[in-house]
Structure 1
């Protein structure tokens, strides 16, 4: 039979539409070759995830914290997909933690150890991710789309988000690194390219270039730094002068102003990714599913922070000038507790959302306020919290024993955390400025409203806020 004369019925798409007959007849990667590449794909996503996580807290620029949170989430999920696919290839997922090549290990170690934000961004977005894109594209081109369709499909899906990350980097690198700084990195970039060549490319498919594996920034191991940092827009990060919860729960305060406090609460959640990064980075010996779930929660908390940012933007308010967002919570937990203790505190706080003051309450406040965007984000925030409670049960409660013990341990850990607001003031780190009246007055001006005298005069000390919240808890 002449193959060129072969047709599908009525010229319907052949081979389920995934390939032409000619493409389906082409030889492709063997199982052994395919698995070798899959393991390299997995290794790259796993190492990228670790770099995003380890550099997140100490990265001061807010937008980069948010970008790292999202990209860590992407990488965790793609690594999980490759792990599962390897396990389907007549091979249990063994050897996935083995370094594929010393030069490839040095390549990622160098990026992790980058001495500043500019170099880190170059390593991530101009070297590692483009090399991963080439590897994925090569897999698409060289495998048989029919016989290896599950891998083909994973490559296509992964490329969508790899391309998105590279596009992010294309804007981030020039924004954070002047041309002179980029020029100064040329010898280091050449080293990264040399390491990839020695490894036979990121996927190991190319001839290995012989040579001694050299290191520059990673000659000495880089110790993880989980002490949170903020950029200059966070002008008063120790400020604890405004307590949104007391305002929200006070029935005497005007409901139409309460979304402003909820936007502040959401934006303040920047500190949760900072803290969760330390849990993920320092917890060892867990299944990869643990990393996937906790990184998903970390990204959700970053989303919440940006919801608050967008809420202020929609209201015409410049949070950078009018709001003081602190980092006292993540700073205290990351420097005073061990990873499991931090997770215990996170779970305890999540479980401590009282019926009268929990996520449903905030959603109801958003609805009652007449601010549709506030109601929208609280609707999703509430849904996310349900998911996070499940994550806590799956990974924290089971590790402790039962729910009662988990809550008690979290309470005990939280009680040991010292957030010394008086010391912050006495050491001149902050005056605990009450920034609320200026924010509220500006919002009223933009809305054409007459300020409510009680709301305009709202002020509470940290100590009185604790007492007020205790009273609310007792009555809930």
Structure 2
């Protein structure tokens, strides 16, 4: 090592491709087996974080937390993919990534999954689990030889950057949610579970484990969507946005309002997809639900995140126009609720694909992009441009993971249509039970937009009222037209 200090590259050019200097590259590092053991622990932690985001997304009432869980499920899925690929490169097929590295680590994540409130869930994830994962990543970055382990370090840099962002979001969220009496004792118990596992990466000395608190009775999954107070009438199906968009009698500028509603309404897709994915990945002994390859879960989690982005695009669109959407728009959850409660995971996937492929028709995503372009609203054109691009990706995902299971596209479409026929949306009964007023909220939204423009409403546009429930057959025709 004494000689390496004086070693110089030719003409002072950056040595070793710029990834390290000679002394650090000549220093110690983890063996392949030691590195793989750590990577497998990082993989397990990332997988449990991914599953927890999926498990709690649907039943989480707060819209902002739903969106955060959607994003972090996607990031965790990307981390899982990188870690799986790196382990596979290091003389370790079969990977053995389905094995639980330590019972105490399993109990640690079980406790977080079973946390009874949003505040406690956030505390477990963003005050304990993610910081522990971040520390494990930093420790491995320090311990790896920068030259020998350059591929691993590149993976770790991605995790490092994303985890910082995730932890910061959690910290900001916790700052505005009221603390709970059991919070601090439980967080200390979580730290004790990590100690019992020899730390998250397994480099510490294991200690005695505490007693389970919330996981003692197991976790009961809730697939029923929940919404916060900004969604006071989630059963309302009184406005059929598609009917308005496809009617040439209405001005393009006003159709943008309905498009923004359509985008915001896509909050129900992550609610449904999270249940589909969580139930599939946790299925045991059910060939219909389980047994999917990891690439399926990665692709579907990307689609889930895209749909959450679309909802936020609609939210931003209303904010940009100065419209406080909760005062004017009823965003229903009847689609996600119906699919989650009435269909199996495979049937939900069939309905998702059936609708998605219909969006690729001439009355689908290109039409909405053209509408945004013709409206003169640059933001509407932009979001529809990306919404269209995302849906093309989703159509490919559907071909790869849904259609491939059928003899042909026609059979796949027939099954998707039959599954959608199973879903009962009894809005009249919901109204009779007092769950919804099922009122036409469009006139209020339209009048507010006119007020902000300084214009008088057009009575013909203001009077628009076509119920979703009354035109479901037409919507099915549109979805099937591709």
TM-score, structure 2 as length reference: 0.95
Separation in 1 of the partners of 2:259 and 2:20?
A: 52
Q: CA deviation at 1:474?
A: 10
- Distance, in Å, in 1 between the alignment partners of 2:128 and 2:114 is 14
**Cα separation, 2, equivalents of 1:228 and 1:297:** 18
4-13 or 152-161, larger mean C-alpha shift: 4-13
Q: Which residue of 2 aligns with 1:169?
A: 170
In the other structure, the counterpart of 1:134 is: 135
Is 1:84–1:93's contact at 8 Å kept on the other side of the alignment?
no
Q: Distance in 2 between matches of 1:71 and 1:410?
A: 29
1:355 Cα deviation from its structure 2 partner: 3.4
Q: Report the alpha carbon displacement of residue 401 of structure 1 after superposing the two structures with TM.
A: 3.4
Where does 1:68-467 land on structure 2 (aligned, <5 Å)?
Answer: 68-178=69-179, 181=180, 184-209=182-207, 211-212=208-209, 214-283=211-280, 284-353=290-359, 355-466=361-472
Q: CA deviation at 1:101?
A: 0.3
SS in 2 for 1:253: coil
Q: For each residue in 1:91-126, what CA deviation from the matched residue of structure 2 results, as whole angstroms up to 9, or x when unmatched?
A: 114210100000000000000000110000000000
Q: Name structure 2 gaps, 5 residues minimum.
A: 281-289
Deviation at 1:144, TM superposition (A): 0.2
- Please say if residues 103 and 213 of structure 1, whose CA atoms lie closer than 8 Å, have aligned partners that are also in contact: no
Q: Which residue of 2 aligns with 1:39?
A: 40
Per-residue deviation, residues 315-352 of structure 1 (Å, max 9, x unmatched): 11000111110000000000000000000001111122
Cα distance in 2 for residues equivalent to 1:152 and 1:470: 50
* Matches of 1:151 and 1:271, distance apart in 2: 37
Closer/same/farther in 2, CA of residues 21 and 83 from structure 1, 3 Å limit: same
Equivalent pair of 2:357/2:479 in contact (CA under 8 Å): no
Instruction: Judge conservation of contact 1:347–1:392 (CA < 8 Å) in 2.
Output: yes
Q: CA deviation at 1:206?
A: 1.5
2:358–2:479 contact (8 Å) kept in structure 1: no
Aligned residues of 1:367 and 1:374 also touching (Cα < 8 A): yes
SS of 1:219's equivalent? helix
CA distance in 2, matches of 1:133, 1:444: 50
**Matches of 2:481 and 2:165 in 1, distance apart?**
49
Per-residue CA deviations over 1:25-58 (Å, capped at 9, x if unaligned) read 1111011110000000100100000000000000
CA distance in 2, matches of 1:463, 1:305: 22
Shift of residue 4 of structure 1? Answer: 2.9
- The answer on whether the counterparts of 1:83 and 1:93 sit within 8 Å (CA) in structure 2 is no
Once residues 43 and 53 of structure 2 are traced to their aligned partners in structure 1, the CA distance between those partners, rounded to angstroms, is 16
- Deviation string, structure 1 residues 366-416 (Cα, Å, up to 9, x no partner): 111111111111111111000000101111111233211110000000011
CA drift of 1:230 comes to: 0.1
Gaps of 5+ in 1: none
Q: Is the 8 A contact 1:102 1:213 kept in 2?
A: no
| Residues 6-45 of structure 1: pairs in structure 2 closer than 5 A | 6-45=7-46
TM-aligned CA distance change 1:468 to 1:409, over 3 Å:
closer
Do the aligned partners of 2:195 and 2:206 also contact (CA within 8 Å) in 1? yes
CA drift at 1:354: 6.6
> How many residues are paired up?
472
Residue aligning to 2:53? 52
Name the SS of the counterpart of 2:266 in structure 1.
helix
Once residues 161 and 480 of structure 2 are traced to their aligned partners in structure 1, the CA distance between those partners, rounded to angstroms, is 50
Greater Cα offset, 331-340 or 89-98: 89-98
